[in-house]
Amino acid sequence: MSPLILRTASDLLRPLLLLFSIFLLLRGHQEPGGGFVGGLIAACAYVLHAIAYDVAGARRALSIDPKTLTGTGLAVALSSALLSVTLGKDLMTGVWGKAELPFFGPLELGTPMIFDVGVYLVVMGTVLTVFLELRGD
């Protein structure tokens, strides 16, 4: 039985930790942060939930199998690496494109950011797989 204070803290901190992890992911391309650190923080949000409640509750809150996150992250990272090859450039060469988003204006998106998203998903999925399997209530 988990204490009420821990459960309440988990419910309040999980959204903040996830938001902070996305901030680190987006910030990491130009400054410290990135996919690895962001994935660790996102995994910590669900680890805290698993400690406060149980593994089944954390799996329900995550709503996707952590192994699926790892596989998806590997596919995203690989696709960002191979995109340059399909355009006739060297492997993992940065490819940039521009998009116009409503309310945000012009946005420059590149394969390094897509690679970071892949790393984010791989790290989050791997940490959660290891923790939830070892905890395995």
pLDDT (0 to 100) of residue 1: 53
| Number of CB atoms found within 10 A of residue 16's CB | 10
Number of domains observed in the structure of the chain: 1
C-alpha–C-alpha distance, residues 127 and 55, integer Å: 14
86-116, pLDDT tens digit by residue? 988 888 888 888 878 787 778 778 888 899 9
Please give the residue range of the domain that contains residue 58: 4-135
C-alpha–C-alpha distance, residues 105 and 115, integer Å: 23
29-38, pLDDT tens digit by residue? 667 778 999 9
At 29, the amino acid letter reads H
Q: Which two tokens stand for residue 35?
A: 């996919």
| DSSP β-bridge partners for residue 106 | 100
C-alpha–C-alpha distance, residues 84 and 94, integer Å: 7
Signed CA dihedral, 95, 97, 103, 105: sign only: positive
| DSSP β-bridge partners for residue 105 | 101
